[in-house]
Structure 1
Amino acid sequence: MHARTPKRRFLAAAAVTASAALVLAGCAESQRGDNTGGGTDGDVDSTFIFAASSDPKTLDPAFASDGESFRVSRQIFEGLVGVKEGTADPAPLLAESWESSEDGLTYEFTLKKDVTFHDGTEFNAEAVCANFDRWYEFEGIAQSESLAYYYGKLYRGFKDKPEDAVYESCEATEDHKATVKLKQPFAGFISSLSLPAFAMQSPTAMEKYGADEISGSAEAPTLSEYAREHPVGTGPFKFDTWNVGENIELSAYEDYWGEQGQVQKINFRVIDDPVARRQALESGGIDGYDLVAPADVQSLKDAGFNVMNRDPFTILYLGLNQANEELKDVKVRQAIAYAIDKEALVKQTLPEGTKTAINFIPDSVNGYTEDVEKYEYDPEKAKQLLKEAGYEDGFTLDFNYPTGVSRPYMPTPEQVFSNLSGQLEEVGIKTEAKPQKWSPDYLDQIQATDDHGIHLLGWTGDYNDTDNFVGVFFGGQKPEFGFDNPELFKALSEARQIPDLDEQTPKYEEINTMISEYVPSIPLAHPAPSLAFSERVTSYPASPVNDEVYNQIELSE
């Protein structure tokens, strides 16, 4: 096996500065010509160039939790379950159908036939079980939040500590029928399988290239050879190359079971500066980009570019880490909530169509309720609460925020930081700026250690289930928030096992009220992310959960 490049070298390659990005945009026209190659469909240039805001964290979706990793993996991999076009609701994909037992513990999947992985391995029930067993059998740092984030949060336990595990077993009962058994009911099981983290991967490739050979630490894991160079799925595009800090190239899989569409080559070009992304589009160097800065939307429309918004299915929040002494006091957490003018934050830093947030779920998700503590902007009340907590003269907190990235819930993190830090200072809370590059430094520090203060993060919902938001955030102890609340953990665990929606809804409403009173963090807004494309992109499969596969793109030239 080839050893991974040392981390310091890897990160140096990934660090694209704003000035370099501007140069990239300036010469984008010639670079685009270098990448189109012979990829044409009749009179249509079939190479699609998309500007990513950062490198993916990994090419192995089982170890990913970030949007840029999933943007790439959705092209390469497919799961048993997908989503209905334009919605967050589950739909058949590699599984044509499924049946469940009355107790919610057994699921039989009937699989699509004549499907192969990109390495020629047959997709069948044995491959399905190999993937389920792989997740369950993760060991050591593979179980950490910085790696198996989704499996740990949703399926709760691994083979070496099965007490809390949701998964029990998978059996290939026929060549194209797989039976999955759970140890406890999980109402969101089918919906959860639409997550890219649970995509089907080639058992042959994972074994050949050591997919589970991970070293380093949870804070700084070293990617396997598979995750860097050999990801293999059943999707419409296969992996070609990853030039860290520059681009990722994919090409159409010639034996794909579905329709390939017009796009035959994809180039994900890393441009971390939002100004440079816009300039690259304007100069013709790229075909599109995500997370358009709010200030750029109208000017791009006026110039004839296609700008569209996804339906909001996001949450931006201010994380509060109770490992910090001041934040252990609920009065301090409440004071911070009252100190924030969410209306001003949205108006000044977030896209048109963004809604202020009072829950950690959008209003379209089951369990949303107005019956919560809303913490309407009241700086005087914030000062009073700080006085009652013994901080009349204020205090200073580290304020961690990411740089060199735009996220669907936070297109301009530096602006959000500046806005919020100014508001907090008005009530006596000074902040020490702690900027960090998004991947891997920021995510690893926030999610895998308690060495941080208040921080900016958020979530783009993966499927239409309340647990996918509040359960992921607050379902158990985690370094990001640093608190232990057994009552909340128990309530969330019980709610996720209730299969009847009418019975489940009031439970989640109670939980959202409980969260608002406890203030583990502060929900800020539900942004509506914008995308921009060249005129030649006549149709793009915009999805509230970012389930956007590029064989569905339509091009005019």
Structure 2
Amino acid sequence: MPLLKGANMLQPRVARPRRLALIGLAGALAVSLSACAESQRDSSGGGDGGTLVFGATGAPANFDPFYASDGETFRVTRQIVENLVGIKPGTAELEPELAKSWESSEDGKTWTFELQEGVKFHDGTPFDAEAVCANFERMYNQKGAGASPALSYYWVENFGGFADDGKPSLYDGCEVKDEYTVELKLTRYTADFPTMLSQDSFAMQSPTAMEKYKANDVKAEGDSFVFSEYAQKHPTGTGPFKFSNYDSANGTIELVRNDDYWGEPAKLDKLIFQVIPNETARKQALEAGDIDGYDFPSPSDWDALEKAGFKVEIREPFNILYLGITQKGNPALRDLKVRQALAHAIDRENLVSAIMPKNSEVAKQFYPDTVDGYADDVQEYPYDPDKAKELLAEAGHEDLTVELWYPTQVTRPYMPNPEAIFGAIKEDLEAVGITVKPVSKPWNGGYTDDIESARAELFLLGWTGDYNSPNNFIGTFFGTTDNQFYTGGSSWGEELAEALDDADTIVDDAEREAAYQDINRKLMSEYLPAIPLTHSPPAMVVRPEVEGLIPSPLTKEEFATVSISE
């Protein structure tokens, strides 16, 4: 999900999203909060839960989740819109949402959804099978800028092509069976369906509002997009909160409770997101009482915040930090023994204990053990400098020189302190005789572009899962040979990509599980295209009076359950 700069966002133009930016965090910029936050707090309206002001790390790209891939857009729209299928709070498990049940045909290509009855969008439009098909047809029939992979990122990643672009698509149609029964047709089976529908971009939005405010009216201008009136001012869903106002000058997004919500209404009267890009400024705003909580407190502040009486809500780790290895430029890195030497040279236990947040874990493979297909018996690479030196000697690369890339002007849930992590790895590599050339670039100033283009030799990067699926992790990393690791330059690159593609099409659960376990074993023994380092838990912090906020391992928090005690 892309990063966004500054506090005065939701201008008509925003930067095109980039694949590797997962959860929006902006650069260092302090803002004055007291006047706007206090005025918002005083206008709570007397509801059961009052008003919560939450410090967001960046501004939304827009308010139409279909045209978004950044965490700050989704943080807001998740409260407004809902999906056919949802994620059980506090977990990565699938649960019913706007669809109360579903079943598939024997070949897994036709899915029938039974919908909740009596649900209405915020504008009064009924949510029914017609509305579902209107949403999917809108997604599939994108044209021009709307069909850009940079804009409709999640559709392209999950469904592929659009109606008129001539590219293969997973989507094969939507059919209304009756008022509350809808049939979605696919061109092939995939194990990720229907779980992929839990992603924010596939939320159900009011067909009436999208037509009235010209939701598809998006245009490209250079490297930016100009969004529709719908995306800027009129997002309309079925969720527990309704969009009220966005004050770009003060960087505040105001939502109000949907009193006609079909489920249990939100406890809060108002929910305000205050954009504060700088983490220190967010901390100061919390301490001053200007906000009630914020996301991604620095791990170094967790103990101090707790001692000050605040609640640090730690999410379960659902991510991976890895040392990427590009086999394109440096021929030595194409040698498996060299990659194994790198793995033995890095003291990952030290990373966990000295640098990463508490409750972090050493990663043994490329996703957490809660994801299907995790193999307990993969080859491991314990810290062993002597073994690393031995392998380098066997490969004839005792004098190895490598570039080690790390990002600046950023913190990530899986990489809270890039410079410190870089320093520890650099020291470990140099201890086994490797000459390390540091390369640093701003996250939004060339780092992610160069990584995507396979220009880096060794690099720090990671991933937070969109949902519980091995394909969402290793399929994203290694599912093609033209990737950041340049596995297409290896004899096994195509074999790995084909194995991942085949595993995703296996209908039988046990057989598919075994296939992914086998891939994970080969990834860690025969291939080792990168080195998994750690899984780390990102946190939120709130005032002690804030109750009912459930941390999500997917960073998909919903605020309907939140209240502020007296």
Shorter-chain TM-score: which interval? 0.7 to 0.9
Match of 2:468 in 1: 464
Check if 1:34 corresponds to 2:39.
yes
Distance 2:124 2:499 in 1: 46
Contact 1:383 1:428 in 2 (8 A): no
Contact kept, 8 Å, 2:142 with 2:216, in 1: the verdict is no
CA drift at 1:211: 3.2
Alignment correspondent of 2:347: 341
TM-score (norm 2): 0.85
Name the SS of the counterpart of 2:487 in structure 1: coil
- Paired residue type of 2:558: V
**Residue 555 of structure 2: aligned partner:** 546
Of stretches 148-157 and 547-556 in structure 1, the one that deviates more from structure 2 is 148-157
Change (3 A) 1:169 1:365: same
Indicate the larger mover: 155-164 or 295-304: 155-164
Once the two structures are superposed, the pairs formed by residues 87-106 of structure 1 within 5 Å of their partners are: 87-106=91-110
1:224 maps to what in 2?
227
What per-residue deviation string (whole Å, max 9, x for no partner) do you get for residues 113-149 of structure 1?
A: 3333334433222221232233334456655654444
Q: Distance in 2 between matches of 1:112 and 1:543?
A: 24
Segment of structure 1 superposing worse, 466-475 or 425-434: 425-434
Any conservation in 2 of the 1:287–1:537 contact (CA below 8 Å)? yes
Q: Deviations over 1:212-256 (max 9, x none)?
A: 624257xx4425234444433222223321628934333333443
Q: Return closer, same or farther for 1:443/1:254 CA change in 2, 3 Å cut-off.
A: farther
Cα deviation, 1:378-403, whole Å, max 9, x if unaligned, reads: 34444555566665433342614252
The equivalent of 1:375 in structure 2 is 381
**SS at structure 2 position matched to 1:552:** coil
Distance in 2 (alpha carbons) for counterparts of 1:43 and 1:200: 28
Within 5 Å, give how 1:66-77 maps onto structure 2: 66-77=70-81
- Partner Cα separation in structure 2 for residue 407 and residue 6 of structure 1: 21
The structural deviation recorded for 1:556 is 0.2
Matched to 2:556, the amino acid is D
1:532 pairs with 2:534: no
Q: Give yes or no for contact 2:26–2:57 (8 Å, CA) kept in 1.
A: no
Give the aligned CA root-mean-square deviation in angstroms.
3.2
2:175 corresponds to which of 146, 171, 175 = 171
Matched, 1:296 2:301: yes
Does the CA-based 8 Å contact 2:253-2:273 persist in structure 1? Answer: yes
Over the matched positions of the two proteins, sequence identity in percent amounts to 43
Residues 385 and 227 of structure 1: is their aligned pair in 2 closer, same or farther, counting only changes over 3 Å? farther
Contact 2:477 2:483 in 1 (8 A): no
Partner in structure 2 of residue 276 of structure 1: 281
Structure 1 residues 480 and 286 mapped into 2: Cα distance closer, same or farther (>3 Å)? farther
Matches of 1:57 and 1:375 in 2, distance apart?
Answer: 41
**Structure 1 counterpart of 2:512:** 504
Q: How does 1:81-230 map to 2 (within 5 A)?
A: 81-138=85-142, 146-160=150-164, 164-207=168-211, 208-211=213-216, 213-216=218-221, 220-225=223-228, 226-230=230-234
Aligned to 1:51: 55
- Give the C-alpha shift of residue 356 in structure 1: 0.7
TM-score by length of 1: 0.86
1:521 alignment partner in structure 2: 530
Amino acid at match of 1:505: E
1:30-88 CA distance string (max 9 Å, x none) = 443122241143575x2211122223344332343343332222112210001223221
> Following the alignment from structure 2 to structure 1, what is the Cα–Cα distance between the partners of residues 406 and 497?
26
Q: Among 485, 488, 494, which residue is 1:486 paired with?
A: 494
Query: How far did residue 494 of structure 1 move?
Result: 1.7
Q: CA deviation at 1:352?
A: 0.9
Which segment drifts farther, 124-133 or 362-371? Answer: 124-133
Distance 2:345 2:439 in 1: 18
CA contact (8 A) 1:55 1:245 kept: no
The alpha-carbon deviation at position 330 of structure 1 amounts to 4.1
Quick one: which of 308, 315, 322 aligns to 1:310? 315
- The CA distance in 2 between the partners of 1:5 and 1:178, in whole Å, is 36
Residue 180 of structure 1, CA deviation? 0.5
Retained in 2: the 8 A contact 1:146–1:444? no
| Residue deviations 1:243-280 (CA, integer Å, cap 9, x gap) | 28934333333443233322222222233333332222
1:404-415 alignment to 2 at 5 Å?
404=410, 406-415=411-420
Match of 1:397 in 2: 403
Residue pair 1:87, 1:543 contacting (<8 A) in 2 also: yes
What SS is found at the alignment partner of 2:560? Answer: helix
Residue 201 of structure 1: how far off its partner (Å):
2.5
Structure-1 separation of matches of 2:517 and 2:388: 26
Q: Is the contact made by 2:13 and 2:226 (CA closer than 8 Å) also made in structure 1?
A: no
* CA positional deviation for 1:511: 0.8
Name 1:4's counterpart in structure 2: 12
The CA distance in 2 between the partners of 1:535 and 1:423, in whole Å, is 41
The 2-side partners of 1:329 and 1:137 are apart by 46
Change (3 A) 1:497 1:273: same
Q: 1:328: Cα distance to partner?
A: 4.5
Task: Name the SS for the 2:194 alignment partner.
Answer: helix
Q: How far apart are residue 94 of structure 1 and its match?
A: 0.8
Q: Secondary structure at the match of 2:540?
A: strand
